[in-house]
């Protein structure tokens, strides 16, 4: 009978080289049947960052200062959510515009613009606080190069994506772009998502929007994110629609 050979694990994890291409938790190693202490501490830290991102507040003063360079009107608005706890427990309230905010916006609707840009805390104000200014530095020149008129920039607190429909409708904008903090994960707690909607109005559902997600230095770069948003905006105005009927076909290989 052949002698049973004792299994000797490889000295290095064959997945280790893949860490270069992703921030996902791979090739973490193990101690017995568990994770090494260092990796467990990293996991707990990432979880803490994700929790902090959810409860972070929109840095209204900082964003206002950062956005002055664009020489656009900046307005502060809020949803019907009274606080963060209610925002998390009642997502529907985060989609509704507070009456006092509607009163602020209505006068600007008398002189409609092509585009309304909304900057919203969402589920990660941390991402919005860090990435909004550099992203808009790339995006706004691209939109203006298309000859589009940009209306007031709205800083929205306790906001969900659909709040942009109410804001755009109040401003009589032809299209809305909402930059919103995405749900934080264990690999990234600072992602920004951009949702654009043509002919915004209350009652629209997610199938009427286009999304460009994971905009951040470790994901989709500011430059690439701005280019994708600009392309979708151009196509939305050309086809007079957004959502499932509008696809990002830029860069596809034609057969």
Q: Tens digit of pLDDT for each residue in 186-241?
A: 888 899 999 999 999 999 999 999 999 999 998 999 999 999 999 999 999 999 99
> Residue 149 carries which DSSP code?
P
The predicted structure's pLDDT at residue 11: 63
Helix (H) or strand (E) holding 176: strand 175-181
The annotation status of 211 as a binding-site residue, yes or no, is yes
Please enumerate in sequence order all residues whose Cβ is within 8 A of that of 240, keeping only pairs 6 or more positions apart, or say none: 198, 199
Classify residue 131 as exposed, middle or buried by CB count within 10 Å of its CB (0-12, 13-18, 19+). Answer: buried
% helix, strand, coil for the chain, step of 5: 40, 20, 40
For all residues of the chain together, what is the average pLDDT? 91
Q: Residue 2 pLDDT > 70, yes or no?
A: no
Rg of the chain on CA atoms, in Å: 22
Distance CA 57, CA 120 (A): 10
**What SS3 class is residue 115?**
strand
229-251: string of b/e by CB count within 10 Å (b at 16+)?
bbbbbbbbbeeeebbeebeeeee
Cα(154)–Cα(163) distance, rounded to whole angstroms? Answer: 11
Q: Give the whole-angstrom CA distance, residue 143 versus residue 62.
A: 23
In this prediction, residue 207 carries a pLDDT of: 96
19 band by pLDDT with thresholds 50, 70 and 90: confident
Domains and CATH numbers, the chain: 55-239 (3.40.50.11240)
Least confident of 51-55, 106-110, 138-142: 51-55
Which pLDDT score, from 0 to 100, does residue 43 have?
84
**The overall pTM is greater than 0.75:** yes
Residue 27 tokens read as 């090739």
The mean pLDDT of 77-102, rounded to a whole number, is: 97
More confident residue, 250 or 107: 107
* Per-residue model confidence (pLDDT) at position 164: 98
Report the pLDDT averaged over residues 23-27: 82
Q: Is 182 annotated as a binding residue?
A: yes
The more confident residue out of 196 and 50 is: 196
Q: What is the mean pLDDT of residues 64-70?
A: 95
Rounded to 5 degrees, what angle do the CA atoms 183, 188, 189 make? Answer: 50
| Per-residue tokens: 19 | 């860490």
Element (H, E) at 27: none
- Using pLDDT thresholds of 50, 70 and 90, give the confidence band for residue 23: confident
In this structure, of 92-101, 173-182, 183-192, the range with the lowest mean pLDDT score is: 183-192
Query: Mean pLDDT throughout 53-81?
Result: 95
Q: What is the pLDDT of residue 40?
A: 86
What confidence tier does 254 reach under pLDDT thresholds 50, 70, 90? low
For residue 172, pLDDT beyond 90: yes
Residue 60, marked binder: no
Sign of CA dihedral 197, 202, 208, 212: positive
How many CB atoms neighbour CB 97 within 10 A? 25
Check pLDDT > 80 for residue 126: yes
């Amino acid at each position: 009978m052949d002698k049973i050979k004792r299994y000797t694990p490889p000295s290095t994890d064959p997945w280790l080289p893949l860490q270069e291409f992703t921030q996902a938790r791979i090739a973490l190693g193990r101690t017995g049947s568990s994770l090494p202490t260092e990796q467990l501490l990293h996991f707990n830290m990432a979880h803490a960052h994700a929790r902090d991102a959810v409860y972070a507040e929109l840095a209204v003063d900082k964003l206002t200062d950062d956005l002055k360079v664009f020489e656009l009107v900046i307005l502060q608005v809020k949803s019907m959510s009274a606080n963060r706890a209610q925002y998390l427990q009642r997502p529907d309230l985060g989609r509704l515009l507070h009456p006092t905010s509607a009163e602020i916006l209505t006068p600007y609707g008398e002189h409609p613009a092509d585009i309304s840009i909304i900057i919203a805390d969402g589920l990660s104000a941390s991402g919005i606080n860090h990435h909004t200014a550099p992203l808009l530095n790339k995006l706004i020149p691209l939109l203006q190069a298309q000859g589009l008129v940009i209306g007031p920039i709205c800083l929205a607190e306790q906001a969900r994506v659909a709040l942009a429909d109410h804001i755009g409708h109040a401003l009589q904008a032809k299209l809305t772009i909402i930059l919103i903090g995405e749900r934080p994960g264990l690999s990234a707690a600072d992602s920004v998502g951009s949702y654009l909607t043509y002919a915004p109005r209350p009652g629209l559902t997610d199938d009427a929007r286009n999304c460009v997600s994971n905009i951040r230095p470790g994901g989709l770069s500011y430059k690439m994110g701005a280019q994708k948003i600009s392309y979708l905006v151009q196509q939305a105005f050309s086809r007079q629609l957004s959502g499932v009927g509008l696809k990002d076909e830029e860069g596809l290989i034609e057969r």
